[in-house]
Amino acid sequence: MERNQTILSEFLLLGLPIQPEHQHVFYALFLAMYLSTVLGNLTIIILIQLDSHLHTPMYFFLRNLSFSDLCFSSVTIPKLLQTMQSQIPSIPYAGCLAQMYFFLFFGDLASFLLVAMAYDRYVAICSPLHYTSIMSPKLCVCLVVLSWVLTMFHALLHTLLTARLSFCGDNVIPHFFCDLSALLKLACSDTHVNELVIFVMGGLVVIIPFLLIIMSYAHIFSSILKVPSAQGIRKAFSTCGSHLSVVSLFYGTIIGLYLCPSANNSTVKETVMSVMYTVVTPMLNPFIYSLRNRDMKGALGRVFHKKKMLLCFSR
């Protein structure tokens, strides 16, 4: 049996199903969205670093999530923009595997960070008196490090299993990035092990984190209902509203695409839904956390006020 025989040296990415006359419009649109993603997430990272009021567990996790979103978009969008501009859709074999690795890594990392944020909200609302002692800096760092280690292992496992496959026929990927499922369809060697690992690890990386988030919010709402008050409900929604919005956006598209596929799912539909969670979600997250969060608005005002004061004194 032949193994590790890779005849193909590159793949061709079909990109997005866009008419040639509309390429420039969509190029400008995706460039604007990517720049918004970079600017928005960098703003959150810098703001949390500069403002001492945001040095809390929730914003520690949010800073890591913003970094993950920034990198997640950077894995696919620059290559898409390059392809749209140069009309050269090729990507080297090694580059394709690298893109797949980092796509899985940062996508999974966001999933685990959302779980950590849900646990933080659960402790803040259900055990407010013990919040400081439970959500210690040591625990927060451990949760983030664990998230990085688990996602690194998961992404590396899929990359190594894909690297052992032979690609000796069609090299056209009907997508705008090197999607794992699309690569498996092009392989001319046995992919049963890869498919089994996807099924098992997919449950561990997507289903279990999603269920943990659901359980956290079930306990939160149960706690609120035990002492129903308008002030308590407003506080709970102001505390959890942003996180719930991000969770709905993130898991909604992934579940719709991967866990609830319909028999008539077209390549165009899958591509559009992929754009939702690779481009739109990372772009919207900073807006969700800044527009619906008083702490972020206050921090932004304090940072600008300090900057204005420094400029006045420098004159």
Write the pLDDT tens digit of every residue in 241-250.
777 778 887 8
The predicted-structure confidence for 15-41, as pLDDT tens digits, reads as follows 888 887 888 899 999 999 999 999 999
Cα(76)–Cα(276) distance, integer angstroms: 13
Residue 290, token pair as written in the block? 């800044």
Residue 2 has pLDDT above 90, yes or no: no
Highest mean pLDDT among 46-60, 137-151, 284-298, 301-315: 137-151
Q: Domains of the chain by range and CATH?
A: 11-313 (1.20.1070.10)
Cα(311)–Cα(315) distance, integer angstroms: 6
pLDDT for the residue numbered 175 = 86
Residues of the chain with pLDDT > 70: what percent?
82
Low-confidence winner among 32-36, 133-137, 154-158, 246-250 (lowest mean pLDDT): 246-250
| Residue 289 binned pLDDT confidence (cut-offs 50, 70, 90) | confident
Q: In sequence order, what are the residues at sequence separation of 6 or more whose Cβ sits closer than 8 angstroms to the Cβ of residue 237?
A: none
Name the more confident of 151 and 314: 151
The amino acid that residue 212 corresponds to is: L
pLDDT for the residue numbered 206 = 83
pLDDT for the residue numbered 167 = 85
Whether 236 and 224 have beta carbons less than 8 Å apart is answered as yes
Residue written as token pair 């409900």: 233
pLDDT for the residue numbered 1 = 39
pTM: 0.85
Q: Residue 92 pairs with which residues in a beta bridge?
A: 10
Residue 141 has pLDDT above 80, yes or no: yes
Whether 104 and 158 have beta carbons less than 8 Å apart is answered as yes
The amino acid that residue 73 corresponds to is: S
| Residue 286 binned pLDDT confidence (cut-offs 50, 70, 90) | confident
Question: How much is the mean pLDDT over the chain?
Answer: 83
Q: Once rounded to an integer, what is the mean pLDDT over residues 97-123?
A: 93
Spatial strand order in the sheet of 10-13? 90-92, 10-13, 172-173
pLDDT for the residue numbered 151 = 95
Low-confidence winner among 78-82, 210-214, 257-261 (lowest mean pLDDT): 257-261
**Helix (H, G, I), strand (E, B), or coil: what is residue 18?**
coil
Q: In sequence order, what are the residues at sequence separation of 6 or more whose Cβ sits closer than 8 angstroms to the Cβ of residue 141?
A: none
The predicted-structure confidence for 39-74, as pLDDT tens digits, reads as follows 999 989 998 888 888 889 989 999 999 999 999 999
Q: Where are the beta strands (DSSP E) in 171-310?
A: 172-173
pLDDT for the residue numbered 267 = 66
Whether 95 and 76 have beta carbons less than 8 Å apart is answered as no
**Helix (H, G, I), strand (E, B), or coil: what is residue 190?**
coil
Q: Once rounded to an integer, what is the mean pLDDT over residues 104-113?
A: 93
pLDDT for the residue numbered 105 = 96
